Chains A and B, each alone.
Chain A
Amino acid sequence: GDSVTQMEGPVTLSEEAFLTINCTYTATGYPSLFWYVQYPGEGLQLLLKATKADDKGSNKGFEATYRKETTSFHLEKGSVQVSDSAVYFCALSVMEYGNKLVFGAGTILRVKS
C-alpha cells in the first residue's frame, strides 16, 4: 500500500539555522505530494505542494522538490524562526484512489531564540 516515511523528531534548532526534514514515499500510482503544518492548538494548514516530478513547491520560505527517482520530497528552509515551531506532516494522495491523503508520522520542530 501507499506510505510516507518522515524523519523522527523532535528537531530542535536555533533561530536562523537551516532546516531539512526528510520525507520519502511509496505509491502504487502517480502521487501528488504535500507538506502540511500544524501549529500548537490549531488545525492542519497546507504549506506547499507538488503534483509532478521535478516540481518545486514553495511557501513562506519553505520549499520542497518532487524527486521521482529517489521517491523523496524533503522540506527545507534556509533560516528558521521561532514562529516556525510546529508539527510538519508530509503526505501524498493519488487521484485514482479518491484523493485520500496518506500522512507521515509528523515531525515536531522546535526553534529556540
Chain B
Amino acid sequence: GAVVSQHPSWVICKSGTSVKIECRSLDFQATTMFWYRQFPKQSLMLMATSNEGSKATYEQGVEKDKFLINHASLTLSTLTVTSAHPEDSSFYICSASHPGFYEQYFGPGTRLTVT
C-alpha cells in the first residue's frame, strides 16, 4: 500500500512555456502533499506544502507565481512551472501523507529539462 505516482516521469519543454506535473496517491487519501526539488548530487529542498482544498504554503524563496500548486482532491496535486527557464531544469519529487500520520510516501520523481 501507500503508492504515490507522478506523471510525466520526464519532460522536455522550451523556454517560456509552462509544464504541469501530476502527483497521485493511488491507494490512500492524502490530505497533505509536499513538493520537493532535487538538484544533481544534492539533497531535497522542500518547495511547498499543499493541503486539499486550500492554498499551498510555500517555503521561503520559492516563487508562488512561478510554481503553481493545486491540490483539488484527496488523491491529486499538480505543480505547474510557468514560463519555464533553463534554470528551472531539475528533478521534482512529490510526497503524500495520511491524515494524522507523520510518514511521507514519495513519488518516483519527474525530470524537467528546459531548453
Contacts and interface: CB of A to CB of B under 8 A. Distances in A.
A106 B42 contact: yes
Name the interface size band of chain A. Answer: 20 to 34
Contact of A32 (B41, B102, B105, B107): B102
A95 B108 CA distance: 24
B76 interface: no
| Contact residues of B: prevailing secondary structure | strand
8 contacts: A43-B106, A49-B103, A89-B43, A100-B46, A101-B46, A101-B104, A105-B43, A106-B42
Interface residues of B, number: 22
B97 interface: yes
Interface string B89-114: 00001010100011111111100000
User: A93, A101, A102: which has the most chain B beta carbons within 10 Å?
Assistant: A101
A26 B52 CA distance: 30
B44 A99 contact: no
Contact of A95 (B102, B106, B107): B102
B75 interface: no
B102 A106 contact: no
Contact of B108 (A43, A51, A103, A108): A43
| Contact residues of A: prevailing secondary structure | strand
Contacts of A44: 44, 93, 95, 106
B32 interface: yes
B43 A45 contact: no
Nearest to A93: B102
B43 A104 contact: yes
A89 B97 contact: no
A46 B95 CA distance: 12
B34 A101 contact: yes
